[in-house]
Structure 1
Amino acid sequence: MAAKLDETIDAALAASRLVGVEVLLAVDGRMRYRRAAGWSDREAGVALAENGLFRLASLSKLYVACAAMRLAVRGELRLDAAVSDYLPYFAPRLADGSVPAITLRSLLSHTSGLGYGFLQPAGGAYRAAGVSDGLDHAGISLEDNLRRLAALPVWHAPGTAWTYSLGLDVMGGVLEAVCGAPLADIVRREVAVPLGLADTGFHAADPARLGTAYADGPVRMAERHALQMAPELAGIDFAPGRALDASAFPSGGAGMVGTASDFLALLEALRRGGDGWLPPEAVAELARSHTVGLEMEGWPGWSHGLGFAVLRDPAAAGLPASRNSWRWLGAYGHGWLVDSARGISLVVCSNTAFEGAIGAFGAELIAAVYAGLDHCDGEAA
């Protein structure tokens, strides 16, 4: 199996589709593959080493969703309560002027009616109002950002559509209100400390371990670097230096920094049913489809749980993973997959946006994983 994964990684690096990447694969709780390859800083000739720090982008969402679930299990918040129960100022309106009930559950499942500025056209309402998507270096507080968001209309009535959104940023504000503490402290207390994640937080405590960020080309990202996902959209404003600024507001949807090994430990705890850190029924609630009857644009064959996507039709998704597998991506160049039926936890952290996330590499690597496992199973038989 290692040969198939090595071949896939080497091909992407040789074609300059990726600059650097770290891949971790655990099967039935045993590390079956680990490799760091390519460059952390290509121009300086610094190789990408194991256990380096990455800007996690939307991998942050799982940490915040799990922190919220821990509080829900203890009865400190209610997933079906309105956001305004915890943040009274957060009551965005529909186009007709009415105020819908946006629940915490809808924040986690991206059915709240909120969106992202990078999914609007250039000059869209979010950018015009100065709403941050959590990847730029806006110089505002979390509350400032949420108040700007709350002043704008929702895109649709909650529960009527799936729209990728700033919902996890709003959840971060809710957690701060409930706990009376900064989001970084809450995630540390609820997730990092109990799971022994020493390198996970909202900024790089050791800048020397944080790699350089690259964009497809590949080109070294500037301090402000815009990438469009489609010509008609505004695109994502990246600010790689944000990860070094401890004063940057904690974006629950995109602002964390961490290692691939820490993230694998989180996935493994969830795959094993919570490991005593979360009750099995709480993990099942995270992994249950909360978007029945709603299509996820750009994700054929998938539904959405609370913090990640859930595979309902492998053929439609074009992946060899089992039904009910979990997956999500991070815009700086990451992806992950948990296939509980096969005992698989896979983490891919690269430093190249967007190829490492929404490019062909993720699907190629997953195909190599399953081909390698099937080959091993065949030999064992």
Structure 2
Amino acid sequence: MTATSSTLDRSALASRIDAVIDAAVGAGSIVGTVVMVAQDGDIAYARAAGHADREAGLATREDTIFRLASVTKPMVAATALAFVDDGVIGVDDPVTRFLPAFQPKLADGSTPVITVRHLLTHTSGLIYGYDPAAGICEGIAGPSLSMAENLARIAGQPLAFTPGSAFRYSVAIDVLGGLLESAAGASLPELVAAKVTGPLGLTDTEFHPSTMDRLATAYADGVDRAVRMNDPHTVSNGEMNFTFSPSRAFDRETFASGGAGMVGTAPDFLRFLEAVRQGGAPILSPASVDLLTTNAIGDFDTSVAGRGFSLGWSIFHHPEASGAPVSPGTWQWGGVYGHSWFVDPIRALSVVSFSNTALAGVGGPYPDAIRDAVYG
């Protein structure tokens, strides 16, 4: 199957994806989900299944609004690159040009230069998983803080490595959000609306839900089936613990998290991906699209063989190394509240899988099975 020689058999595609969804929802591992597949810009598959609120009997709809977690990052990265296009910031500008007080140190006490590029590629030396005693909010839970206070607390922690020397997924996009606010003189929600969601007509994608009756209830992995989240609620994948605060979506006093703070729908996010896949208009230049769609970190370890990272998301430069059926150059990421997505530019495919179930919707059998069902 290629974009030029073959298109998806939609009936067969629907049968394969339906089987995956039915099994997961039927088993209770996924409570509610929306899956959409586009090929060559046309919708090849779209389905909502399960419950947005299981206890209330409220069915999931295609326009159900989800807490996006790290699905926020691509749209904030695009916002930053739109300001690069405008000449307001440069990818190799030091962060201190816009945030003079943001000067975290290495373990030896030295203060290295961190650039916008380092933030976008997660090569800054920042991390996720700070000591709780540091009082840092990492976007999905934690204390209610102003942007300035959270950045000050991050800057007070030692860097894990010299910027530019390794990859580690991190709070870097929260720092980027603060940088954008300083550079452009407006709040991050205003900037994302002006540069990305507004021009693309993503009316349901924002930092705080304006349509409460369509916001999905958050669920978490349980012993026999997913359980309704408490607030806070901690989930473990066996290696790491993830603490969620679903009420953060309503907290207008805390800072807008560029790394995890938005809510939105699957159709909106698919429209965003398709805009980038088709060249960037009306939000980005071709040069910025190249930065989003090209591996920028060489062979740094990203924990998945054959996968690097661009200035916005992961890039499979050698997918055969991990056994993924995607084409070289495929972009992919997700969100810890239960989302996974990928774009295979060679096959002109954009796939969005949203759910209200952490962590089953973001990693493991369900998103892998959705991906494999797309490829048949």
Q: TM-score, normalised by structure 2?
A: 0.94
1:275: Cα distance to partner? 2.4
The answer (yes or no) to whether the contact 2:136–2:142 under 8 Å persists in 1 is no
Q: Encode CA deviations 1:66-110: one digit per residue, 9 max, x unaligned.
A: 000000011100110111111011000000000011111010101
1:326: Cα distance to partner? 0.2
The answer (yes or no) to whether the contact 2:313–2:332 under 8 Å persists in 1 is yes
- The one-letter code sitting in structure 2 at the alignment partner of 1:270 is V
The answer (yes or no) to whether the contact 2:200–2:282 under 8 Å persists in 1 is no
Provide the residue aligned with 2:82 in structure 1: 70
**Correspondence list, 1:274-293, <5 A:** 274-293=280-299
- The structure 1 residue matched to 2:140, chosen from 120, 135, 142, is 135
Verify: 1:102 aligned to 2:114, yes or no. yes
Provide the residue aligned with 1:154 in structure 2: 159
Verify: 1:321 aligned to 2:326, yes or no. yes
Provide the residue aligned with 1:80 in structure 2: 92
Provide the residue aligned with 1:370 in structure 2: 375
Verify: 1:42 aligned to 2:42, yes or no. no
Question: How many Å separate the matches in 2 of 1:50 and 1:276?
Answer: 25
- The structure 2 residue matched to 1:263, chosen from 254, 263, 269, is 269
The answer (yes or no) to whether the contact 1:216–1:352 under 8 Å persists in 2 is yes
Question: How many Å separate the matches in 1 of 2:148 and 2:354?
Answer: 30
- The one-letter code sitting in structure 2 at the alignment partner of 1:204 is P
Provide the residue aligned with 2:351 in structure 1: 346
Verify: 1:24 aligned to 2:36, yes or no. yes
The answer (yes or no) to whether the contact 2:17–2:374 under 8 Å persists in 1 is yes
- The one-letter code sitting in structure 1 at the alignment partner of 2:362 is A
1:226: Cα distance to partner? 1.1
Provide the residue aligned with 1:378 in structure 2: none
Question: How many Å separate the matches in 1 of 2:284 and 2:62?
Answer: 28
Question: How many Å separate the matches in 2 of 1:137 and 1:210?
Answer: 21
Question: How many Å separate the matches in 1 of 2:278 and 2:131?
Answer: 39
The answer (yes or no) to whether the contact 1:349–1:356 under 8 Å persists in 2 is yes
Q: Identity of paired residues, percent?
A: 45
Q: Secondary structure at the match of 2:329?
A: coil
Question: How many Å separate the matches in 2 of 1:130 and 1:77?
Answer: 30
Verify: 1:14 aligned to 2:35, yes or no. no
Provide the residue aligned with 2:227 in structure 1: 219
Q: Secondary structure at the match of 1:342?
A: coil
- The structure 2 residue matched to 1:273, chosen from 264, 274, 279, is 279
Provide the residue aligned with 1:122 in structure 2: none
**Correspondence list, 1:186-265, <5 A:** 186-217=191-222, 218-231=226-239, 233=240, 235-265=241-271
The answer (yes or no) to whether the contact 1:137–1:248 under 8 Å persists in 2 is no
Verify: 1:360 aligned to 2:372, yes or no. no
Question: How many Å separate the matches in 1 of 2:199 and 2:142?
Answer: 30
Q: Secondary structure at the match of 1:58?
A: helix
1:2: Cα distance to partner? 0.7
Q: Encode CA deviations 1:251-305: one digit per residue, 9 max, x unaligned.
A: 00001011111100000000001124211121011111111031112x2220000
Q: Secondary structure at the match of 1:147?
A: helix
1:137: Cα distance to partner? 4.8
Identify the range of structure 1 (29-38 vs 43-52) with the bigger mean alpha-carbon deviation: 43-52
The answer (yes or no) to whether the contact 2:137–2:144 under 8 Å persists in 1 is no
Q: Encode CA deviations 1:215-235: one digit per residue, 9 max, x unaligned.
A: 01211000110122335x4x2
1:245: Cα distance to partner? 2.5
Q: Encode CA deviations 1:127-157: one digit per residue, 9 max, x unaligned.
A: 2110111101521111111100001110011
- The one-letter code sitting in structure 2 at the alignment partner of 1:237 is T
- The one-letter code sitting in structure 2 at the alignment partner of 1:254 is A
Provide the residue aligned with 1:306 in structure 2: 311
